[in-house]
Structure 1
Amino acid sequence: MVRFSSHQSSDDLAALVDGRVLGAGFRKSRPELGTPAKVGAVRWLASGMWAQSTGFLTTCRVVVPSLVAGALAVTLFSRVCRAAAPRLTRQLGASNPLVLQTIPLLGLVFSVFTNNTFQAMYEQQEAALLALFREVSCAKSLVEQLTLVLGGASEPACVAALRCVQRYASRDLRRRSDQSAAQLKLAIGDRIPDPLEELLYLSSVGAPSEHVYATVKDLRAARAARLGALERKLPPIQFVLLYALASALLAALVLQTSAAIAAGTSSTHLRFETTVFALLAVALVACLRILQDIWSPKSGAYNVDAVLVTCVMGLERQLDDLLILRE
């Protein structure tokens, strides 16, 4: 059985599916044995496997820590409360104003910080999606313009230009959100030539084509907007603060229950209190893990990577159709 990692791109999975599903012959001589429908099916299958793997990993990253926190809460809550109760005086009973106001105050502060964190990351995700859609639209317009300007897919110059767009889609546009703009700039500027510059050269006779130049300019602007939106805006200290507030909220509930035991206003069985504490621990950990998964640059169900694969698939299918028909 083949296992897929969230760090594998759909291109990597497509290559694997090419060999395992359609045979090694299709991978070596795709223009002869492959058809546009087969190429699209391979990409669709690989993208679906990749999306399922990222969704499964996100579920594990959220559900498993939450269940562990709930199990620890059920196991340790009553013991900690009974152990701390003898060290508290009767003045710290359940009716003490300080004890009564601590939990609502901490809950309010935690909800405010959580809401602001989620709003900031939601706006960042929205900006990244809008920039991605704009970039894919510009890339498709560029393919159409190149086909018209360079005389169609039967011309060698048009084929070379379409391969430049294909390299741009696979090496640049498909870069996941876990690869920063600095890494992308280094990869394009130092190690490989920029395919957009090659397009301007191939489509120019003394000067670049006016329409192609304008589309490439818009494409560069959309790429800059996408890379800027994918950069993490919130520092790690934000989540350190959120975890500290959640821990303080749980500790305050333990303190209040221990004070109630010391004052004699609560029994020592604590079945109801244990259930409430476990549910609160599960909810807090799940909330924090979801926020951290949205913030994390690694591929996950909350990132734009799944949408990126779907958006680029149409562009790659169009390029495959043109290049396969030419060959």
Structure 2
Amino acid sequence: FIQNYLTITGLLFGILVGQTYYFMYQQQESVFLALFQEVTEAKSLLEQISLVCQGRGKVYDRCLSSMESYVQNDLKILGADPAVTLSTRPIDDPLESIMYMTSVGIPGKVYDTVKSLRQARAWRLGALQRKLPRLHLGLLWLLAVIEVSSFPVLGAGTQTIGGYGILTVEGCLFAIMTFGIVLTLGVVGELWQPAGGAYNVDSVLGVMVEGLEEELQQRMSGNSLNRADDFSFPPPPSEISL
């Protein structure tokens, strides 16, 4: 009975941990895809703001300030509750401010880009939202404790058959099993965290938005980044004498 008890406990633990790991890995993949799409849309919005509002003085500066607020207080904040972030009032939404400042009477061309950026933002917040409660991880740790504690009970009395040397072998097997279980649950716990840790997107996001932040700061400081000024036409051809 004790041997079957250990087998059933280990099988149940393995199935639940495997399914949990697969689910968390899919969620992590969704976060990466959503962030790549959102950063791409944010770069497109910055380019459109420069084309539409450049030369309009305070409107251009306010649009760039709203864009900076979006990057610093929304895009780069991965540890905030996604549901709370999504419930922000429209008056406090920097994307809403950009849309109003670039539209007169009817939505302008920037509206489509803001709409696409909001959709990408929704995908990112949905991917960051925790789908598994903390109780789920607690149940996994409970199953792990049950499995580990049943191993010494199963091996009790074996020294009468194989001698005391067999206890050393059982001790090594017990240590390996405990290390494997703790390591597996540690990986699942790291994947469960939306930000921070070895398996999260914090460092990747910092690299992704580095170019966006640099371009935004240059535009706010007055550099237009217009490459047309650097282009020089070739000299006219010399006259051909007949």
Given the alignment, which residue of 117, 121, 130 partners 1:219? 117
Segments ≥4 residues shifted beyond 4 Å:
none
TM-score, structure 1 length as denominator? Answer: 0.63
**Is the contact between residue 195 and residue 201 of structure 2 (CA under 8 Å) also seen in structure 1?**
no
3-state secondary structure, aligned to 1:147: helix
Matched, 1:322 2:219: yes
Q: Which structure has the bigger radius of gyration?
A: 2
| Cα displacement string for residues 94-152 of structure 1 (whole angstroms, at most 9, x for unaligned residues) | xxxx3433333322221111110001111111111111111111110001111112236
- Percent identity, aligned pairs only? 37
Aligned amino acid, residue 267 of structure 1? G
Aligned pair 1:173/2:75, yes or no?
A: yes
Alignment partner of 2:53 out of 124, 137, 150: 150
Partner of 1:41: none
Task: Map 1:150-299 to 2 at 5 A.
Answer: 150-151=53-54, 155-176=57-78, 178-185=79-86, 188-189=88-89, 193-209=92-108, 211-261=109-159, 264-269=160-165, 270-299=167-196
One-letter identity of the residue aligned with 1:279: I
Please point out which of 23, 34, 43 is paired with 1:140: 43
Which amino acid is the alignment partner of residue 136 of structure 2?
A: Q
Structure with the largest fraction of helix:
1
Alpha-carbon RMSD across the aligned residues, in angstroms, is 2.1
Residue deviations 1:20-55 (CA, integer Å, cap 9, x gap): xxxxxxxxxxxxxxxxxxxxxxxxxxxxxxxxxxxx
Distance change (3 Å), C-alpha of 1:296 and 1:151: closer
Say if 2:16 and 2:140, in contact at 8 Å, map to a contact too: yes
The count of aligned residue pairs is 223
CA distance in 2, matches of 1:194, 1:326: 26
Structure 1 spans left out of the alignment, 5+ residues = 1-97
Measure, in 2, the Cα distance between the counterparts of 1:291 and 1:171.
Answer: 28
Residues 35, 205 of structure 2: 8 Å contact kept = yes
State the 1:326 CA deviation: 4.2
In structure 2, stretches of 5+ residues that fail to align are 225-242
Matched AA of 2:29: E
Is the Cα contact below 8 Å between 2:34 and 2:123 reproduced in 1?
Answer: yes
